[in-house]
Chains A and B, each alone.
Chain A
């Protein structure tokens, strides 16, 4: 004979058991769905969905309410739904020289920075690949190390160096030259971007060169090619995938860069990331900020898709 209390306990354990059983059963048969669904839903909600809000607000009008934009869907008096789409924001961007110039200036700055990174990074990557085992590891470490330290602080470090009374000007005046104005110029922005992004050029180049068969160079030399000819006919074509990957990794983030032009370029350097940030935070014009974002995406969509394509191929080839 069992007391009522015992029966309750027994019942509880059976429900518990049943729950555990159901859970294990579910995991056993549906874990794949779970594995897929969790990150999938996360990305749908926090990555894809937000873009629709950007798109939606870029088509709305600025108002003084909070939030400062009009609804696309409005209810007229008799319950008739109206959809108001305003392309004024985009027209405004197009008509205003400031925006057009900013886009052009951004693309120009990031293109030149990418080329500079390539010119500096290529010999570096080449030297890393061709050096002996220990040196290779030390050099790689030295390239990667700054990446782990704060990006903001590294840009800040340049504020000290480029300052009117900074180290570089100290050395210049010490040698009897006139001090240079470097802070808040395009030069400072180039230095900042190249400094920040050169590891992103070196590492893909290194990864690409590391896999190459270097005896091909000897074969070319053996067949009578001069060093320059070998470089342009063998080395450069072989390392092209690395060059493209590295260039995209510099070009894409540099185009939308905000911190570097803000800290080092001041008001003299027009870059789109900075305009977007200010439009949003200072002017509180969300519709225009959203339109700027959409337009920036349009500028970057081709390089971004190219990079994804390369990335996917890379994973497949492994």
Chain B
């Protein structure tokens, strides 16, 4: 049985690796509305791939085209080398777990799980055995005779998963698999889902709007907006090296500064920002013209906050005044006013217990913000 992809063995970096699923310039129009706009995508065997985006970004439409519920207006979809573009859902080696779970309310848990095998004409004995195994795996054996409405949310989710996995699909599609669960159960289920995927080695494609979920689960994430992919990459790539302001803002928070490239060296770039007045020294080179307009993104946790000025104050540092403090226990979020209008957000771990109950940094105090040359990301769009 194949294993989930080893973190060090990334097939998407290997030019010889053959993708398992190929989406080739697929578009989908509903009347005048373009839900999916000419996208290309390659997913490799054993991946846990996330389609991430806000509502109406086209992620669900793309998933439904992979499942066969929608036919692309143009383009083609290949699964394991076979063109599936016009194959109806009931003939695809792909199964789906629905956001609502879509459990058949008039059938028992057992019959729900067995349904797919019955449709394939599998022998009765074998069906019984495989259902048994599947129910044991998702720990639902004692609930086999119950109807869906007699189950809790978490149990229903596991029935849906079992029902979709029992046919041993080449690919499992999951539409917001955790959205219907409460927060605590969601976190637990995330890890169960990952373990299961690792154990079975099935390729998972997950649609979600929850960036934390996407970051935790996936081998790679595709960030979608208005029917197109904005960026495809591993969670780390997407978070640390977003390719646009949109991605930087969608995944986590980012402080965005507008400026112009004032110096472009081989191993560094300097960006000069007017509001707030600050020079950003970035320690890697870029192929970009001097003088062109760019944005610099700095993540809140990558900014140091201190009452003492850092050694050198002209670059990678600004002075401001604490406008707001959000104490979250493990960390605190500071909203620092630069000038009259500009707010910069900083998250800082609370390493030490405050002495005498006084916080180390208080409201309306003057503070210095600084960051490492490796922290900012330069964005051109």
Direct contact between the two chains A and B in their complex (CB within 8 A): no
Interface residues of A (CB under 8 A from B): none
Interface residues of B (CB under 8 A from A): none
